[in-house]
Amino acid sequence: MAGVANEGSAKPATAARIYDYHLGGTHNFPADREAAQAITKMFPFVPLLARANRAFLRRAVRHVAEQGVTQFLDVGSGIPTEGNVHEVVHEINPDARVVYVDMDPVAVSESLDILAGKPNATAIRADLRDPQSILGHPQVRKIIDFGQPVALLTVAVLHFVADDELATKALEELLGALPSGSYLVLSHGSAEGMAIDLDQLDTAQSVYKRDTTTPFVLRSRAEVTAYFDGLDLVEPGVVWLPQWRPAPGDPTDFVADPAQSGGLCGVAKLP
């Protein structure tokens, strides 16, 4: 990565690579590290939030795969480092197909390197805010059969669509392309119940707004729950990240006070 890091020294930060840094990854550049460190200086628990979110992703994906779903469309995927979607689902069904979607070209390039030699998994560059750039993409059409159930993963991505109406419409358009029996797996940042300084939160949001192309917005439980309207929520419904079907070996940082995980999540089936 040394050569890549030097090459990317002038690249602006992105949410995908900041997230990779928080997870302890190496697929990031100086600007990503600087932005991540600025956030962590204000909120030292942020790397723990990232790990709690990744653990939810693994649990939710495993659950959906165990229901027999063999197609996964991971929108806003970031970089599929160790323990990500394709590894989880291929333990259950080696023939399962996975498409990772991200708007960051470097994240997509890194993803394709990681996925080399894996014919049932690929990555494309497209933007959640333009659902047709995803649904109409040739690689998506090649790998995903929209006549069969699909798991749509929107994990820690909708909070990077600051416009409420645009976020809702984009999700609705993506879900509208999926058949009955498909699933939505979603997590979203929320400060409800968190013991944080609002001025610091404003500063953190300004870091993303200034240093990346993806400013973020936190939403309430009611707003996050509304994303599941018309779908059949899987128990235990919309809960904090550590509360969704915890498993042995998961991070335990927020077990005593799940609201401090800063993320609401849920899984639902399309009727």
Q: What pLDDT, in 10s, does the model give residues 124-164?
A: 999 999 999 999 999 999 999 999 999 999 999 999 999 99
Domains of the chain are: 2-269 (3.40.50.150)
Residues 260, 147: Cα–Cα separation, whole Å: 40
CA distances from 250 to 57, 63, 106, 113, 191 (A): 11, 15, 29, 28, 22
Helix (H) or strand (E) holding 21, with range, is: helix 15-22
pLDDT class for 81, splitting at 50, 70, 90?
confident
Residues 266, 241: Cα–Cα separation, whole Å: 9
9 compared with 2, residue with greater pLDDT? 9
| Strand runs labelled E in 79-146 | 97-102, 121-125
Does pTM top 0.75 for this prediction? yes
Q: What pLDDT, in 10s, does the model give residues 221-244?
A: 999 999 999 999 999 999 999 999
Q: Residue 100 forms beta bridges with which residues?
A: 74, 123
